[in-house]
Amino acid sequence: NAGVTQTPKFQVLKTGQSMTLQCAQDMNHEYMSWYRQDPGMGLRLIHYSVGAGITDQGEVPNGYNVSRSTTEDFPLRLLSAAPSQTSVYFCASRDRGATNEKLFFGSGTQLSVL
């Protein structure tokens, strides 16, 4: 199993450009989530999903869109990139199971918006 795969690993955008951060998992996990990590701010939840066709907003959803058409994929879209979206982005997934099932994290995408 590959686990949680994020692409690309690095990306540089210009202000106003759009792009999609890809996230795929091969563990048949129903729960998936996106976080951004900024120095001194920890990880903040952007959006999450409890299954195909079902998504919800997290702590910092503005400027980001998500959709979940399959169990495996949970892409994060930046519609019009802003310098404030410069960050490291992590995708995570977990099995439905018990409430304290652990999250499996991807290796992250480092995004710079100029």
Partner 1 sequence: AQSVTQLGSHVSVSEGALVLLRCNYSSSVPPYLFWYVQYPNQGLQLLLKYTSAATLVKGINGFEAEFKKSETSFHLTKPSAHMSDAAEYFCAVTKNQAGTALIFGKGTTLSVSS
The residues of the shown chain that bind partner 1, judged by CB under 8 A, are 31, 33, 35, 40-45, 48, 50, 58-59, 90, 92, 94, 98-103, 105-108
Q: Which is nearer to partner 1, 13 or 92 (CB)?
A: 92
Which residues in 98-109 are b (16+ Cβ under 10 Å) and which e?
eeeeebbbbebb
Q: Which position has the token pair 């795969």?
A: 5
Smallest gap from residue 59 Cβ to partner 1 (A): 7
- Output the CA–CA distances (angstroms, integers) from residue 50 to 11, 45, 96, in the order listed: 28, 14, 8
Q: Which is nearer to partner 1, 19 or 50 (CB)?
A: 50
CB 104 within 8 A of CB 92: yes
Smallest gap from residue 14 Cβ to partner 1 (A): 26
Q: Which is nearer to partner 1, 60 or 81 (CB)?
A: 60
